[in-house]
């Protein structure tokens, strides 16, 4: 049991996670998915914490989503038994780790968008005790990974189904925000073409956070994988998906300089907030000081601007910054603080931080 510390005693900069808001966000979206008949498989990239993944699972999540094997490995070691790795696994080192990981969990699945990736998975799993579930990744408009047409999805599905060591599980996409109709059209067609080949799509996995409230009733989709909803952030507020009071993550920082009228400097820079803009103006927003801009970041300094006839802060004042992008902030520090409503916080290690391989 980690000791609790009063938030006033925490040194800065540090990342605060409001537990009550997290749990409300989890419950609210789980209820939505349950009502819509959708499986919820949250992406752990937003929090990278064992405790929060456990809350998501206790609320009803069917499993977790990871992007890299390294993330899946730490969550498997923490006891999570149903993991989807939404990544093309390439190269002998990673394939060997994937085989080992498959032996450690109840259900492991990955994706593939090319014959080369399928051939690698097949060679690695040909002699494995049970086949590996593989979903075909579909590019439904994001222009990242994924097959380009429903016909190509069906062609790879057939190849997976016919390949020793592999089990065709269905389709997966990471949809571009705001393209619900186009995504649905692609997935419905791809599923139909698989079925014409006698291949059943056990699951069709989609979902992002910006469109999270528009997933009910989408044809074909059986599973959704949002990540950011658990914390929310400044970009989600801008998307209109949530309000500021639904944002669970903030960076606690100290004013270290008030060098000139209209300027102040805080001790949180890009090494905490990152330079991700996500189409926002500025590098974050201050809770309690809407008139102050986080106008620039150095690595260890945040540059605040405000009207030069005002003096909102003195050196030593503490401020809370709402980051533009929650997921990347979770990746910057080895631990965050889980803050309760009594003003006390508990340090929690970010177990999947920096697991890029």
The binding site for a second copy (CB under 8 A) comprises 9, 11-14, 45, 67-68, 87-88, 90-91, 93-94, 113-114, 116-117, 120, 139, 143-148, 254-260, 263, 265, 267-272, 274-277, 298-301, 303, 314-316, 327-328, 331-334, 354, 356-357
Nearer to a second copy, 20 or 311 (CB): 311
C-alpha–C-alpha distance, residues 314 and 235, integer Å: 29
Shortest approach of a second copy to residue 338 CB, angstroms?
18
Instruction: Output the DSSP codes for 256-269.
Output: EEEEETTEEEES--
Tell the smallest beta-carbon distance from residue 216 to a second copy (Å). 26
> Smallest gap, in angstroms, from Cβ of residue 6 to a second copy?
12
Minimum CB separation of residue 80 from a second copy in Å reads 19
Q: Which is nearer to a second copy, 33 or 268 (CB)?
A: 268
Q: Least distance from C-beta 93 to a second copy, angstroms?
A: 4
Least gap, CB of 182 to a second copy (angstroms):
16
- Residue 29 · residue 61 · CB < 8 Å: no
Cβ(134)–Cβ(169) below 8 Å: yes
Residue 196: which H helix or E strand, with range? helix 180-196
Q: In the complex with a second copy, which residue's Cβ is closer, 10 or 128? A: 10
Beta strand extents in the chain (DSSP E only): 4-6, 14-18, 39-40, 64-66, 82-88, 107-112, 132-138, 166-173, 203-206, 223-224, 249-260, 263-266, 285-287, 293-297, 302-305, 318-322, 335-339, 344-349
Cβ proximity of 22 and 56 under 8 Å: no
Neighbours of 201 (CB within 10 A): 22
Q: Is 169 or 269 the residue whose CB approaches a second copy more closely?
A: 269
Specify the residue, 59 or 64, whose C-beta has the smaller distance to a second copy. 64
Q: Which is nearer to a second copy, 56 or 140 (CB)?
A: 140
């Amino acid at each position: 049991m980690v000791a609790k510390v009063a938030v006033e005693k925490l040194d800065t900069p540090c990342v605060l996670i409001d537990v009550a808001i997290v749990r409300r966000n989890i419950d609210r979206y789980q209820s939505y998915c349950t009502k819509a008949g959708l499986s919820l498989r949250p992406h752990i990239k937003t929090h990278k914490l064992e405790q929060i993944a456990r809350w998501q699972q206790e609320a009803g999540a069917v499993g977790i989503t990871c992007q890299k094997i390294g993330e899946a490995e730490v969550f498997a070691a923490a006891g999570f038994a149903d993991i989807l790795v939404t990544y093309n696994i390439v190269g002998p080192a990673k394939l060997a780790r994937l085989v080992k990981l498959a032996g450690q969990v109840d259900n492991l699945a990955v994706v593939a968008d090319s014959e080369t990736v399928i051939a690698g998975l097949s060679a690695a799993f040909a002699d494995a005790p049970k086949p590996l579930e593989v979903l075909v990744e579909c590019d439904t408009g994001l222009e990242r990974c994924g097959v380009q047409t429903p016909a190509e999805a069906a062609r790879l599905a057939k190849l997976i189904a016919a390949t020793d060591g592999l089990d065709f599980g269905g389709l997966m996409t990471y949809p571009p925000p705001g393209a619900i109709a186009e995504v649905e059209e692609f997935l419905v067609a791809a599923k139909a073409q698989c079925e014409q080949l006698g291949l059943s799509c056990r699951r069709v996995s989609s979902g992002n956070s910006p469109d999270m409230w528009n997933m009910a009733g989408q044809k074909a989709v059986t599973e959704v994988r949002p990540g950011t909803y658990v914390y929310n952030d400044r970009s989600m507020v801008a998307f209109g998906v949530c309000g500021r009071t639904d944002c669970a993550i903030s960076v606690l920082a100290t004013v270290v300089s008030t060098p000139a009228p209209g300027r102040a400097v805080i001790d949180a820079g890009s090494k905490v907030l990152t330079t991700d803009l996500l189409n926002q103006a500025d590098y974050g927003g201050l809770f309690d000081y809407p008139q102050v801009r986080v106008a620039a970041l150095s690595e260890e300094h945040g540059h605040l601007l405000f009207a030069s006839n005002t003096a909102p802060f003195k050196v030593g004042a503490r401020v809370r910054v709402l980051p533009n992008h929650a997921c990347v902030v979770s990746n910057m520090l080895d631990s965050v603080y889980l803050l309760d409503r009594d003003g006390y916080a508990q340090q929690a290690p970010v177990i999947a931080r920096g697991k890029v391989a």
